[in-house]
Amino acid sequence: MRCPRVFSIATIAIAALGIFASAADMPPLDGTPHYDGKGNLIFPSDYRQWVFLSSGLDMSYSPTAPMDGQHMFNNVFVPRVAYEAFLKTGTWPDKTVLMLENRGGAVNKSILKHGEIQTTDVMGLEVHVKDTARFKGGWAFFSYDSNLKPAAEIPETAACYSCHEAHGAVDTTFVQFYPTLMPIARHHKTLSTVYLAETAQK
C-alpha cells in the first residue's frame, strides 16, 4: 500500500472535471465500474463525492516498520449506492467500487502544535472492485499511476488478494476499520469466518 508517487493535483482535478480526450471517452459517473476496450478500469474521477468510510493514519502491517518521519493517511470512499445497499444487507452488492486514497500527513503546520493534518499530496490511488461476472473470486484490485490512465487488473497472485482474504471482516474488505459499517455487519451477521476466528483468539 505504500507508494512514493505523488499525484499531481492538476491531474486529479482535471480527471474530476471529466476532461477526457473527447466526450465519448467519458464513462457515466454512476458509482459502478467502467472498463475500456482492453478491460482496464477507468479511473472513477468522482470518488471524492462518494461516502467517506474512514481514515487510517500511519498504518503499517509489520511490527518493525519504521515511519522515518513520513506520515500518511489512508482515506477510504465508496459510492452512495453501494453504501446504502450495505446498510440494508450488511454486505457489498455486485459492482461495488471502493477507493483507497493515500494522502500525505504533516505536523507543525499553520497554528498546529500537536497532531497531524492531511496535505494536498496524493501518494497513491487503489481500487477494489466487486464484479462477479468478470473476476474469479468476485473481486479485483487496481492501482493508478499518476497519469490516471485506465489501470490493468492486479494479478491474483499479488499480496493484495491474500491479505484481504485472510483478514477482511466482510467479503474481503476491511470493514473492521470502517466504524459506521461494523455495527451493520454485526447486526446482519455478515462478518467473515476468518475475521471471527482472528478476533476470538485475541
Q: Which residues bind ligand HEC (CB under 6 A)?
A: 1, 54, 56, 59, 61, 74, 76, 98, 100, 126-128, 141, 143, 154, 158-160, 163-164, 173-174, 177
Report yes or no: 55 and 84 within 8 Å, Cβ to Cβ: no
CB closer to ligand HEC out of 1 and 81: 1
Task: Produce one character per residue of 119-149: b if its CB has 16 or more CB atoms within 10 Å, e if not.
Answer: bebbbbbbbbbbbeebeeeebbbbbbeeebe
CB closer to ligand HEC out of 135 and 177: 177
- Compute CA distances 95 → 32, 77, 128, 192, whole Å: 5, 14, 10, 20
Work out how close the CB of 22 gets to ligand HEC at its nearest, in angstroms, rounded to a whole number: 29
Report yes or no: 52 and 101 within 8 Å, Cβ to Cβ: no
CB closer to ligand HEC out of 25 and 94: 94
The set of cell numbers assigned to 129 is 472492485
- Residue 114 to residue 108: CA distance in whole angstroms: 7
Work out how close the CB of 156 gets to ligand HEC at its nearest, in angstroms, rounded to a whole number: 11
Work out how close the CB of 111 gets to ligand HEC at its nearest, in angstroms, rounded to a whole number: 27
Task: Produce one character per residue of 51-83: b if its CB has 16 or more CB atoms within 10 Å, e if not.
Answer: bebbebeeeeeeeeeeeeeebbbbbbbbbebbb
CB closer to ligand HEC out of 60 and 147: 60
CB closer to ligand HEC out of 15 and 41: 41
Work out how close the CB of 177 gets to ligand HEC at its nearest, in angstroms, rounded to a whole number: 3
Q: Would you tell me how many other CB atoms lie within 10 Å of the CB of residue 50?
A: 20
Work out how close the CB of 36 gets to ligand HEC at its nearest, in angstroms, rounded to a whole number: 19
CB closer to ligand HEC out of 98 and 123: 98
Work out how close the CB of 113 gets to ligand HEC at its nearest, in angstroms, rounded to a whole number: 26
